[in-house]
Amino acid sequence: MHGFPSGTVNASKIGADLPELADRIATTMGWQAVCPFMRGCGTSEGDFSLAGWVSDVRAAVSYAERSFPDSPIWIVGFGTGGAVGLMAAADSSSVHGAAVLATPADFDDWANRPDQLIVHSRKVNVIKDPQFPRDRKGWRNELQTLSTVHAARKFSDRPLLVIHGSEDELVPTLDARAVADAHAGADLRIINGAGHQLRHDPRALAMLLGWLDRHSQL
């Protein structure tokens, strides 16, 4: 799962390189890989809401269940994609394990400045409808109540990998430690000198593939 669009990568471009990573995982692991685009991103319709993105991941999990009924499901997400991926995984017994990279522990900063987030979301085109969100209070409440830390705690009976860059300019390393601590058994990896864009860090990808390989054999 891709992250949230930024000023340099808008909603139409976010996650455009993730199908390449999905192909690499499929080839290396001998797995099937699904690369969903959340509502408002890529060619997906709709407008951003945190709960909506969680629902999108649940839909992807349901698709994988139908398409590959005898296969365990693993979720991998970057940034906000890691957060909503873990939230969906925590409520699904079909998900065997998860990996989150450069993922925030919560969305309190967004919830404290909802109007700024809406302006930014329109700027990067992840919100296209000028009337959205019609229920601003409910939209903001999702940002306050949905938490990666809470999801990690619910997911504590299954394997979790947390990867973070020591020089992440958007999400502090404290967030990674909070998620790992909430899980209590997570494999936490802090990559020295790495920033937020771990998709392009070969060390992060090597850790991810190695971890998936080891845990899939258990």
Domains delineated in the chain: 18-216 (3.40.50.1820)
Is 48 a residue whose pLDDT tops 90?
Answer: yes
Q: How does pLDDT run across 143-180, given as a tens digit for each residue?
A: 999 999 999 999 999 999 999 999 999 999 999 999 99
Angle between helices 80-90 and 50-67 (to 10 degrees): 60
Look up residue 177 and give its amino acid.
Answer: R
pLDDT score recorded for residue 88:
98
What pTM does this model have?
Answer: 0.96
Angle at the Cα of 104 (from 99 to 109), degrees rounded to 5? 165
Amino acid (one-letter) located at 66: R
3-state secondary structure of 119: helix
DSSP state letter for 18? H
At residue 8 the predicted structure's pLDDT band, cuts being 50, 70 and 90, is confident
